[in-house]
Structure 1
Amino acid sequence: MSRPPLPKNVRPNRRRAFTLIEVLLSLGLAALVMAAIATAIDVHLRCLQIGRTNVEEAQLARTLLLRIGDDLRNVAVINPVDSTKIVTPSATATTGTTPPGQNTDSTATTDTTTTTTETEDEYVLGIYGESDWIQIDVRRAPRLDQFDYETLPGGSELLPDRVSGIKTVGYSLHEETGLTAAGGEYRGGLLRREIDHALTRWAEDTGSLTSADQELEPIAPEVIDLEFLYYDGSQWIDNWDSTEMGGLPIAVHVSMVIVPREQLKRFTKDSNETSQQLDQSANYVYSLTVALPVAEGDQSSDTTSEETTGSTEAEEMSQ
């Protein structure tokens, strides 16, 4: 049998290919999709890096502030003895048997002057510092392994440490903070010094304490700014001297600025970047306020108010 012929108006099915416009449109859409995926991945990685940097900064700031706070809470307090309030038997006997012709006023004046001079020259353990540095006399028991050595490493060859129960801990910024050294190495950051109290006093008297601090290695190069404020019971001040103030502050406020580590590395490589530009790259200012329970505030106003209240109540009861 023979197949019947196809109609003249019916053509066989043939597969058509993509035109040039369709190919270009598909390539463009694919490129847009790939670019969107790449942008999303880049944004995600950037957000992840920023979050990781913020967490590292917060952990570093928390560690440093807690360490400073622990040193402040362990401050050693030894109140000087006021010899004017001590009455010795010899002084009492002399008061009752003053020889005739001796000037009693001149003798009392001489004793008072001598006592006042001795009290003013006496060093008081406590807190000393200004807005950019602090020095804390800390009472800390030495470890058992430290008794095997006559001297201990203090971080500086000019000022070695020794075993003692009272240490002087100092916090400050490196003098070259915000600058780049000649070899391109960044030497800024937070310095911490912990040396025997007597050796610290000797270094202060000889003038070798500042040069010894410059040989210390920073414990946190990321710190570019440091500030201390001291509360005396009525206002915040930027300096404190326990000898002049007669004791410890009520509280100490510590604040520091930390830059990202990547920014610090870029600042090390690029010597043309200024410290102001480095300061602008900081994200947060971390702060901590430490209350000192051993501090003695100004109790004159409290005493006056208590006396006034007591006298008022007594008058009301009498009426």
Structure 2
Amino acid sequence: APDSGGGSSEDSFTEDSSTDVATEDASTLIPPPQLGLYGTLNQLQVDVSRLPRPDEYNPAMSSVEDFQTIDIPSDIKTVAYYLQAAQILPPGEDEIRFSRQEDQLAGGLVRRELDRSIARYAAESGDTATLTMTGEVLAPEVTSLEFYYFDGLAWVTQWDSEMLKGLPQAVRVVITIRPARSANRPEMIGLTNSMTAIEQGDLVYSLVVQLPLAEPPETMGDSAMEAMGL
């Protein structure tokens, strides 16, 4: 289970994080040509390989029938995690086209899973509105989301598998959950980073996920493993 970060024990690498609103436009999450993991401080997308579930072959049994951008069964999917602000349909848009549950229009932590070719085609053809609507809101209560990537020697805030020729050794995920809001506290997504959130009394959780397929650098020793928190 994630470790609670309710105190001031956050690592030093979060101190320089921006305090600007950190929400992401889902249309910018285009799968690169090469499979791998790609991420910034506030978004992450990774390609995964698995056999499709039986229900994914039958649109009547699958939630993908609700999407204008129709997903297809495939053994390679691009999964993205990001934070979004509440979605508002553009004037004149057909609400039936976006037949989603009301909570899917809310802001918060979003997970999007699409076939790589479908996602690339939608983005390259300019169909960014429907691409935005394909994400699933997992946790509307999340107000801040941060990712850090361990390269074997240090934590960094960006990762590009094509440029760096591989996967990070680990990914650290830091999420902020705002407790029940008082009347004098605004509801804003991505208002603060994790360090500022602790000072304001928000709940901050941190989880380090090791990637077993990553190849450790030759210079990686016990001290680097300790710095990774493993």
Q: Which of the five TM-score ranges fits, normalised by the shorter chain?
A: 0.5 to 0.7
Query: 2:110 touches 2:137 (CA, 8 Å); kept in 1?
Result: yes
Cα deviations by residue, 1:146-167 (Å, 9 ceiling, x for unpaired) = 2234995448734221111111
Instruction: Give the drift of 1:209.
Output: 4.6
Q: How far apart, CA to CA, are the structure 2 residues paired with 1:131 and 1:207?
A: 25
- In the other structure, the counterpart of 1:136 is 46
Which secondary structure does the structure 1 equivalent of 2:162 belong to?
Answer: helix
Give the structure 1 partner of residue 162 of structure 2.
243
CA drift of 1:124 comes to: 2.2
Query: What pairs with 1:44-123 in structure 2 (closer than 5 Å)?
Result: 123=33
TM-score normalised per structure 1: 0.45
Partners of 2:133 and 2:86 lie apart in 1 by 9
Q: How far, CA to CA, are the matches of 1:153 and 1:199 in structure 2?
A: 16
Taking the TM superposition and a 5 Å limit, the aligned residue runs for 1:1-319 are 123-149=33-59, 153-154=63-64, 157-176=67-86, 187-209=106-128, 212-214=131-133, 216-260=135-179, 262-263=180-181, 273=186, 275=188, 282-299=201-218, 301=219
In the alignment, structure 1 segments of 5+ residues that lack a partner are: 1-57, 59-121, 178-184, 303-319
Deviations 1:290-318 (A, max 9, x none): 1111012333x47xxxxxxxxxxxxxxxx
Distance 1:189 1:211 in 2: 18
SS at match of 1:134: strand
Aligned alpha-carbon RMSD (Å): 3.4
Q: Report SS of the residue matched to 1:218.
A: strand
**SS of residue matched to 2:138:** coil
After superposition, the C-alpha distances for 1:204-239 in whole angstroms (9 at most, x for unaligned) are 333435752256452211000000011111111111
Deviations 1:233-280 (A, max 9, x none): 1111111111111111111110000012x32xx56xx7x836459956
Q: Identity, % of aligned pairs? A: 36
Is the 2:169–2:216 contact (alpha carbons within 8 Å) kept by the matching residues of 1?
yes
Q: Tell me the distance in 2 between the aligned counterparts of 1:228 and 1:142.
A: 28
Q: Is the 8 A contact 2:82 2:110 kept in 1?
A: yes
Q: 1:145 to 1:249 in 2, by over 3 A?
A: same
- State whether residues 38 and 46 of structure 2, in contact with CA within 8 Å, keep that contact through their aligned partners in structure 1: yes
**When you count helix as a share of all residues, which structure comes out higher?**
1
Q: As a proportion of its length, which structure holds more strand?
A: 2
One-letter identity of the residue aligned with 2:39: G
Q: CA deviation at 1:128?
A: 0.8
Any conservation in 1 of the 2:142–2:177 contact (CA below 8 Å)?
yes
Structure 1: distance between partners of 2:156 and 2:138: 27
The TM-score normalised by the length of structure 2 is 0.61
What stretches of structure 2 of length at least 5 have no aligned partner? 5-31, 88-102, 221-230
